[in-house]
Structure 1
Amino acid sequence: MPNCIVLVGVRGCGKSSLGLMASSMLEYVYVDAERCVSECLHMTDSEYLQSHTTEEYQELEYRLIVSAVEEQIAKKQNMVVVLPAIAIENQPLLDYFVRQIATPYLIHIVREEAKVLEYLEYSEPFEKGKELLRKMLPRYSAVANYVYFNMHSDPSFIENKYIIIRDRQTKFPTLALKAAELDFVSYLEFLTGIERRVHTNLSFRNKYTTAIQVNFPNLHIQDILYNASDVVAGCDAVDLQIDAIALMESGSLNDIEDQISRLVANIRRGAELPIIFNLQNSLTDIYQFMQTRHQAKSDEKFDIMDFHVFYLNFLGIATRLGLAYVALDLSLCCNGVKYSSEGTRDDIMVTNDTTNEMVTLVKDFLRKCGKTIVMGIYHSLDPKIWDSNYGGVKIMEFAHELGITMMRITSKALDLTDNLKCWNFIKYMMTEYPDILLTAFNTGELGKLSKILNRVLTPVHIDLNKDLNIPIESNDWIVNSDVQRSLFRAFIVPGSSFHVTGANSSNNLMPAVHQQTYSELGLPHSFSSYESTSISGLAALIKSPNFGGASILPPFTREALHFADSTSTHARAIGFVNTLVTERHWTNPTKLVRIKGYNTDWIVVSQILRSSLSPVNTAIREKTALIIGSCGVSRASIYALIRLNYKNVLVYDTKYTTAKSIADEFNNLQETTNGNSFKTTNVIALTKKSFNQVELAEGCAYPVVIIEGKCTADPKTGKPPLAIEIPSGWFKNETGGVAMQTSIDLLISPMLDTAFELQDKGWIGACGLNYLYCQSCTQFELFVNKPAPRHLMKKFLLDVYQKSTRSL
């Protein structure tokens, strides 16, 4: 059964735009259900209903939409189906998707009320319109598996990610919907299980990771989340701490979900990190609140199982929002837990009765979580929790029986030795349950040491003193940079030396960018240039004891393949390695496991195209691209375009035989590569005549992408490059496109000048600084094995570039 993503929502929520963008980015067929009906009727639904009954309309709607969907199912085509707003009234149609197809991807699209009312040209008072919309939302949410908040998108989001050439670039009107496109596609990729990070494994295993805690609701923190990329820099996840009681005081579960969805949209827009959904209240506190509220309204006894069901439904918000992790309190399943102020918590009595009703509810919840990973949590009031054969061990046994793969166990430290007990507990559990990713630490001022020693998602806090000039009152707080520095000073995590090496590497800007980033985040690493004219210099670098990795420049990119114990399939296909990374044993960092070789150029090309190609051009099914030059970056660009399923890739080099050889090589590569339906792109070499006269091969359109990979200084002499004049006819695509430069040796080539002049025609010029910026971020992730703080690295790159006597 192919994937069927179904979008529902009120008119004006943006589901049609999102559906179109998602279908093009994911290569899914787009089924516009509303158009199915209107094209058959040759009139609007309101006009049809003037002379027909509602039942007649719904029957026709059902037949036409189901027919369109069944046609794609027969072809085994993945699809995005956009249902009209009125479809919420058509129960047979909804039953078809919910029961007959049983699609797990029925998504309710929500948008700011002001934007919806503006689209509807609503003329009544805003509050009245807002109330009408809110009354409609529960009907859509009731049929949907997921909720997506369609946050307002504007070009400024992309402008903040871009490096602007002063006086050359002004506005990006064609990218007005780009932020929404990137957000929504990433959301769908998570739900459907599409692997996004093909270059590195940013898992939480075998390294020390941190999760920054964000309390909600909290006015101070909500303000600075508008610059979330700054706040979360250096962290591996966002731990969203929800004050359930505060939210329940202000509204229903639907209202709570709406508030959280808006917050999540804001975090996702600013921070590309996995989000953990966590309740900061204890089960006892939530139960007592609900019991008091219930007793004020009714004389009936508040049923404990009703509370448990409510709690699991509350956690279900995380699944519906497509969050990466949700924290489930396993004290739900403990015998002896008392939900009263007089009761005590018994940390050692974990139920072994698998038929227990509560255990059944929990197992059912686990089955319904989709791609959201359940993190079991347990906080003990007993200081003996870390002792063998006591509470912590039994909780881990129970988690293992449930099939939970992540756990967080905490207790309050009463003594500094409790931290060592916690550390011993972690080591013991890693041996007993290697498949469970365990977070364990003590709370309180005396527990800070255990947080440093903890390996997985150590909780860190926003530096309120730095970001908001608010004094930190809690003695329990610790910030991310403190954790990183402490790990180094305690000799737990060693400092690594990274390098950029090759001819003329001494002028490279990357060392300064990386070094400033390491210092800002408290990372104990160094980054320097190592200029060498022979391959023996690279060999000497690798033998150094603290060698962590290297960025490889010409002329060593091909020879570097031989220094890697293993290379990525992408690097082998391209034929070049531009990044070497050491893999060391995490418990014995002096032990070198292997050296891995990567090519990051193709990743950088993919990233820039995904973020800068307008949604209009993204939606073109048979896109054409033009590559100028035959260097390593040009080869990587061809490979990236093949992976992005471009229909035609035109290659031009001053030597036709070179271009023809590259084209033949990549066409043959597609023939012999297994999987990924790889034979989809025609790589065509251009002669000098066809290039200069803009002669398109049969079946080719004018390119939406032009990449110049030849404007690089000579690696042996350092002489500046000679730019190739690109005939303006190659810029004739009616909807514009992206012109990308891959070097900063000639910052503004004639190609970029042409693109800047055609901004009003939809063309965007990406200078070499954008390329270097994305390259720096990608290699940071490979070297450090942490998400790159992209906003910081962009800032540092601009500073370094301008200090090098150059100007933007």
Structure 2
Amino acid sequence: MAPPKNERAFEANSSIVLVGCRGAGKRTLGFMGALHLRRRLVTEEHYFEKTTGLSRGEYLARHGREAFARQDIEVFKRMLDSNRTGCIIECGMSSLTGEAQDALRQYSSTNPVVYIHREKEQIARHLDAADLQQLLKADGRHRSCSNFEYYNLYDPPNKSGGHISGTSSGASTPLNGRQSGPSKLLSAREDFTRFLDIVTGRGATKAWLESPFSVSSVPPEFRSYSYALRLRLSYLMDMDLEWEDFEARGDCVEFIIDHWPDDLMNVIARQIALIRRKLGIPIIYHVEENPRGERRRTPEEKDAMDADLLELGLRLGVDYISLDLQRHDEFVNRVLRHRGRSKIIGNFWYMGFGALAWQDDRQMENYKRAQGLGCEVVRMVRFCTNDSPAELLEGFKKRLQQEVPDPKPPLVAYDFSVLGVRTPLQSRILNPVKHPDMENERDHLATVSTYYHSYELLFRQFLLDPLQFYVLGSHVSYSLSPAMHSAAYDFCGMPHTFQDVTCSTIDRLNQICLSDSFGGASLTAPFKVAIMPHLKVKSHHATAIGAVNVLLPLRGKTSAILDHANSRNKAGPAREFFGDNTDWSSILTCLRRAISPRNYVQPSKTTGLVVGAGGMARAAIYALIQLGCRNIFIYNRTTPNANQVAQHFNDWAATQGIVGTKGGSHEICRVLPSLSEPWPRAYQPPTMVISCVPATSANGSAPADFEMPLDWLRSPTGGVVVELAYEPLVTPLVAQMHAVRDHMSPSWVVVDGLEVVAEMAIEAFELMTGRMAPKRLMKEVCRKTWEQQQQQQRQGSEMAMSSY
């Protein structure tokens, strides 16, 4: 049976239309989306004035209401028709009219039309109380003329500046006494751009091409082992845990609609938005057959309601839709027609006594039907009462391999009873798990399984191996990485070790890496650039930067990168290695977190400054380029080294077609020869400064102190200073910027080295293990370990002084 045509698989460059009532945040989201997708932002208000030569208010006053209404709808239709590709289109209040909504329905057959809505309390801030209810009622009609929707969660502003705190929640108090949270709208930008990547289908492909070992690059169904954290709507409506407690408890979330509260559609939309924001992992959307507390429905009522709920999941752009293939064809085909970029998990669940046996030929027919319908995953689950030995399921899997032609969708298959899943090892992928502190109530599928228990079992049964990980370089004894990685291993049930080893030669590096138990290494000076010629495979980012800071063994049985990625956490000989760079992305994360809306990156104007010319400086320059900055200056004590780095990136820009801001050349990096020279007047003062001067030089001597010339700090809107060194935490540059904030310009934000090093460890952990990192835990351990090191140093100094 062939699948029906996918009516929501639009061309990747199709213009995206945003509709919704005033106060929903369309203009801000449109701006973010245009920057992310590199598209032109078209607003209804500006288009009307451009077309008629008058603002809407002026046209109404001059021509009257009737003429304005006719002109308004004509301009609206023209705006849609003349901007069908390469745009983000923000619709104004015209979209509330019936004629405009008819035009949007027609437009939605070829383009994504996204309904933006949000909390009533936030919309009320922009409206008179008398207008609120009427407008919200009218706003609900946008669902009928759109094919996607996005719930715009409130993103509270950062009310204080100075230092970016060391926890994901922004709740800790930094050591210098200053406290702040993420910059305004950072979370909204991350959520919305992730949503756009799903709608356009660009996210996973782009991540895979750039860095095939990153967690986001390998979908859960293609990993060696993966786990689905089950969260029921009835539980989320009255949670007894915090969202942070669910971090790294699964590779994806299975969101189960088992309850019908008032305002159901908006409640579901908000919960999907919360999962995206708080956990940032793929979502499986499942509508339970018999919602709790609801009356029994007729088959017709059941089909209509369940279809509407599944339709909502597809509109919300979830990663996976769980589809019961035992429903009738019309129901199944409706979901398949509207699937868009969401993946389909085709389900065959036998929940009662007398469940279809694995050896029954109808199980094979079920799988082939799901395959024929184009399901990306097939899930087959059966209730058993000790009547199904494990060998029967294994026999079914072998039959599939022998009898079903490729490509075969991944299979999730297991038996369960009232005590839970028979064994977490029955299925390799998407095993159902729960949080260890959650009550089960009716959720028998995950009764005995937690992520920690399931993953630890793989090591106890020797399916995975304990490995040795390292941080390697000439001066690593102060590294905070061992403490952070070790805490993450304990959290995830991994018996790995992580240690710092001082070495400075390629021969010694090879000796460590050629061990059968070598799992991976974080590299520092002098290896970041020197290792490049010795690597068979490098990520796109590492090649562009010309430096590597994470080294992984390649142990796959074939040459396929996915095979190598799924061989992580397994021992064995490795003669080839993969190199990646997380320095740049860690810096990028910290910049995004700290940049204020006033200093958003404008390619033609924004200026960045990088201090240093080593491997970290290369990563910093690349981070600025990825942000869209095209005016980058480098200062280094040794000017020839700075010239070499600048030339590397200017040559790379030419190969990528990246054009600078002066004369159409590819020169995006320039060198500042001296601290005594004034800032070049042809360029704006920098709003992003990244200091890559190491805390200690490669030979162990103290580096030269660096402070910024005051002439280089003339930005009227302040900016961000990222200090990568953290020994000491308050470097001369950090101390200078605190003084600048206090006495000259309070708009400067300082990101200290602990914030950056924690991000580096988090990304390295995910690359090395292929598992989600417990970010909050690792950041807390980073700060605490640093504090302990400082206390030990003080005690050592006091003891030394007392001995005199």
**What range is the shorter-chain TM-score in?**
0.7 to 0.9
Deviation digits for residues 131-157 of structure 1 (CA, Å, limit 9, x no counterpart):
445422321111111111111111469
Report the equivalent of 1:636.
Answer: 619
Contact kept, 8 Å, 1:711 with 1:746, in 2: the verdict is no
Distance 1:448 1:474, change over 3 A: closer
SS of alignment partner, residue 176 of structure 1? coil
1:484-563 superposed matches below 5 A: 484-563=455-534
Deviations 1:392-426 (A, max 9, x none): 21211101111111111111232285334334434
Q: Compute the displacement of 1:59 (Å).
A: 3.0
Deviates more, 1:423-432 or 1:320-329: 423-432
Deviations 1:461-487 (A, max 9, x none): 12226xx89999998332111111111
What is the SS of the residue equivalent to 1:584?
Answer: coil
Please give the per-residue CA displacement for 1:220-250, whole angstroms capped at 9, x wherever unaligned: 75353xx32321324100110111xx31xx4
* Partner in structure 2 of residue 338 of structure 1: none
- Mapped to 1, the partners of 2:77 and 2:713 lie a distance apart of 42
Alignment-mate amino acid for residue 166 of structure 1: L
| Alpha-carbon distance change, 559 to 653 in structure 1, aligned in 2, over 3 angstroms | closer
In 2 relative to 1, CA 5–473 (structure 1 residues): closer, same or farther, beyond 3 Å?
closer
Contact 2:634 2:671 survives alignment (8 Å): yes
Residue 410 of structure 2 is aligned with which of 430, 434, 437? 437
**In structure 2, do the counterparts of structure 1 residues 411 and 321 end up closer, same or farther at CA, with 3 Å as the change threshold?**
same
| 2:277 paired with 1:260 | no
Q: Percent identity?
A: 24
Query: Aligned letter for 2:226?
Result: T
Q: Is the 8 A contact 1:564 1:597 kept in 2?
A: yes
RMSD between superposed Cα atoms in Å: 3.4
Would you say 1:753 and 2:735 are equivalent positions? yes
Aligned residue runs from structure 1 range 369-388, under 5 A: 369-380=339-350, 381=352, 385-388=356-359
Aligned-partner residue type, residue 633 of structure 2 = L
Q: Distance in 1 between matches of 2:437 and 2:789?
A: 34
* CA distance in structure 2 between the aligned counterparts of 1:479 and 1:803, rounded to whole angstroms: 32
1:33 touches 1:82 (CA, 8 Å); kept in 2? yes
Partner of 1:86: 94
Q: Secondary structure of the residue that 1:222 maps to in structure 2?
A: coil
In the other structure, the counterpart of 1:140 is 142
Structure 2 CA distance for partners of 1:415 and 1:17, relative to 1, 3 Å: same
Are 1:233 and 2:233 counterparts?
A: no
Residue 708 of structure 1: aligned partner: 691
User: Mapping of 1:354-365 within 5 angstroms?
Assistant: 358=329, 361-365=331-335
Output the amino acid matched with 1:238. Answer: V
**Cα offset, 1:450, TM superposition:** 3.2
Change (3 A) 1:708 1:219: closer
One-letter amino acid of the counterpart of residue 541, structure 2: H
- Tell me by how many angstroms 1:272 deviates: 0.9
Which position in structure 2 is the counterpart of 1:328? 323
Q: 2:234 aligns to what? A: 217
Q: Which amino acid aligns with 1:377?
A: N
1:504 touches 1:531 (CA, 8 Å); kept in 2? yes
- Residue 348 of structure 1 corresponds to none
Distance apart, 1:39 and its partner CA: 7.2
> Which residue does 2:218 correspond to in 1?
202
Instruction: Decide which structure has greater helix share.
Output: 1
C-alpha deviation, 1:551, in angstroms: 0.7
Correspondence 1:22-61 to 2 at 5 A: 22-37=33-48, 45=56, 49=60, 52=63, 54-61=65-72
The offset of 1:37, in angstroms, is 3.4
**Do the aligned residues in 2 keep the contact of 1:560 with 1:577 (CA within 8 Å)?**
yes
Is the CA contact 2:114–2:146 (under 8 Å) kept in the aligned structure 1? yes
Q: 2: CA distance between counterparts of 1:240 and 1:709? A: 43
Q: How many angstroms apart in 1 are the aligned matches of 2:493 and 2:728?
A: 34
CA distance in 2, matches of 1:427, 1:745: 57
Indicate if the aligned counterparts of 2:155 and 2:184 stay in contact, CA closer than 8 A.
yes
Q: Give 5+ residue unaligned stretches, structure 1.
A: 292-301, 334-357
Equivalent in the alignment of 1:150 = 152
Aligned residues of 2:659 and 2:667 also touching (Cα < 8 A): no
Partner of 1:19: 30
1:582-603 CA distance string (max 9 Å, x none) = 2434798455575211122122
Contact 2:355 2:382 in 1 (8 A): no
Q: What is the TM-score with the length of structure 1 in the denominator?
A: 0.84
1:742 aligns with 2:728: no
Q: Which residue of 1 aligns with 2:677?
A: 693
Q: Name the counterpart of 1:658.
A: 641
Give runs of aligned pairs for residues 305-454 of structure 1, distance below 5 A: 307-333=302-328, 358=329, 361-380=331-350, 381=352, 385-415=356-386, 418-429=389-400, 432=404, 435-444=408-417, 448-454=421-427
Which of 297, 304, 307 is 1:290 aligned to? 297
Amino acid at match of 1:415: N
Q: Separation in 1 of the partners of 2:319 and 2:725?
A: 37
> Is 1:762 equivalent to 2:757 in the alignment?
no
Question: Do structure 1's residue 724 and structure 2's residue 724 form an aligned pair?
Answer: no
Moved more, 256-265 or 603-612: 603-612
Q: 2:770 aligns with which of 770, 774, 785?
A: 785
Instruction: Check conservation: 2:379, 2:413, Cα contact below 8 A.
Output: yes
Are the aligned partners of 1:647 and 1:681 in contact in 2 as well (CA < 8 Å)?
A: no
Cα distance, 1:562 vs structure 2: 4.4
Is 1:607 aligned to residue 607 of structure 2? no
Q: Which moved more, 1:468-477 or 1:544-553?
A: 468-477
Structure 1 residues 418 and 264, CA gap change in structure 2 (3 angstroms):
same
- Structure 1 pair 181/219, CA: closer, same or farther in 2 (3 Å)? closer
SS, match of residue 218 in structure 1: helix
Q: Determine the C-alpha separation between the residues in 1 that align with 2:368 and 2:544.
A: 46
Give the SS at the match of 1:450.
Answer: coil
Cα 1:263–1:602 shift into 2, 3 Å: same
> Any conservation in 2 of the 1:443–1:476 contact (CA below 8 Å)?
no
The residue type paired with residue 511 of structure 1 is P
Residue 188 of structure 2 is aligned to residue 180 of structure 1: yes
CA distance in 2, matches of 1:720, 1:472: 59
Note if contact 2:551-2:580 (Cα within 8 Å) is conserved in structure 1.
yes
- Return 666-675 or 724-733, whichever deviates more: 666-675
2:783 corresponds, among 781, 798, 804, to 798
1:46 Cα deviation from its structure 2 partner: 6.3
Does the C-alpha gap of structure 1 residues 220 and 569 become closer, same or farther in structure 2, counting only changes over 3 Å?
closer
- Kept in 2: contact 1:240–1:275 (CA 8 A): yes
Q: How far apart, in 1, do the equivalents of 2:681 and 2:641 lie?
A: 18
Mapped to 1, the partners of 2:307 and 2:80 lie a distance apart of 34
Deviation at 1:532, TM superposition (A): 1.8
Structure 2 residue identity aligned to 1:661: Q
- Name the structure 1 match of 2:797: none
SS in 1 for 2:67: helix
Asked if 1:189 is matched to 2:172, the reply is: no
**Secondary structure at the residue paired with 1:421?**
helix
2:126 maps to 119
